[in-house]
Structure 1
């Protein structure tokens, strides 16, 4: 131990003249404090932007993946069946968008119930698609598929009508008829 301390002392004695002993410039401390207190964007903003960009990227990738899966879903079906499905699917999605635009506290129960019923219809549709894949295209299966799609569209239209009636009833609660 004593030997090590002597080595350290010798080392520091050799380097004694190599130390930086210059004086700092005039008002160096003030310039440092000014820079420290300046209003530069903090790392919090960069972190928030990075998180937002990651979320957007994740959503984009998941949407891209979903469309690829949808295109390959009916590889076993004829082009007519695929076209029929895609046309009805677009119509259903538009009706769902209209319903989602109507979301309000007054319509919450109607929309929640409608979405539950849509899940049931979606499950039925998935069964039809599995049947189509297993047994091939037959008139009964194609009819069941189209019937399910039509039922979903008409159901969504009915829900929209109920929502609009509900909104009108709320807007005119005290109106009297003569």
Structure 2
């Protein structure tokens, strides 16, 4: 009902609105009339604050730096959080990681044109297993079934070690076959 009254009011006043800007000096004439009544009036000028732009930029940068620091800090503390949940996992992780690193160096030292493909495939599989391990760490931190997750983490390490041992064995076989073929080849 009230909406209808407003619409009717605006329909009746259509064309009667003053949309023109006041003439120059209007504000001064208004103030003179106001002062003549005995009240003191002054003009109010807007002061533009020059400080708000730099402060807002600085605040934005501070927020972005805070978010970046939080993101970096959460990545580094993942291992610390796992160590807090299970110190045994941290010890076994150090042991297995050093063993795997040693075998990877040995594998990379054996790279030849004949073994290049198998080594590159092995590295891809190791990266996949490492990603799976990181996901298991995250699940452990979230509070999943810790015994099951810890077992899966150890199995992941053992799988990586078995993979590296198998590949090193295959490379040794390839080297032996190459030597055997070279010995039987006559000119």
- Alignment-derived partner of residue 105 in structure 1: 113
- Alignment-derived partner of residue 127 in structure 2: 119
Does residue 74 (structure 1) correspond to residue 79 (structure 2)? The answer is: yes
TM-score between both structures, scaled by the size of structure 1: 0.56
CA distance in 2, matches of 1:140, 1:99: 31
CA distance in 1, matches of 2:159, 2:91: 18
Gaps of 5+ in 2: 1-73
Task: Give the CA RMSD over aligned residues.
Answer: 2.3
- Alignment-derived partner of residue 173 in structure 2: 165
Aligned residues: 109
CA contact (8 A) 2:140 2:149 kept: yes
The higher-RCO structure (CA 8 Å, 6+ apart) is 1
CA contact (8 A) 2:81 2:141 kept: yes
> Which structure would you say has the larger Rg?
2
- Alignment-derived partner of residue 35 in structure 2: none
TM-score between both structures, scaled by the size of structure 2: 0.53
Cα 1:70/1:156, change in 2 over 3 Å: farther
Gaps of 5+ in 1: 1-68
CA distance in 2, matches of 1:89, 1:122: 10
**CA deviation profile, 1:93-116 (whole Å, cap 9, x unmatched):** 011011011011111011011111
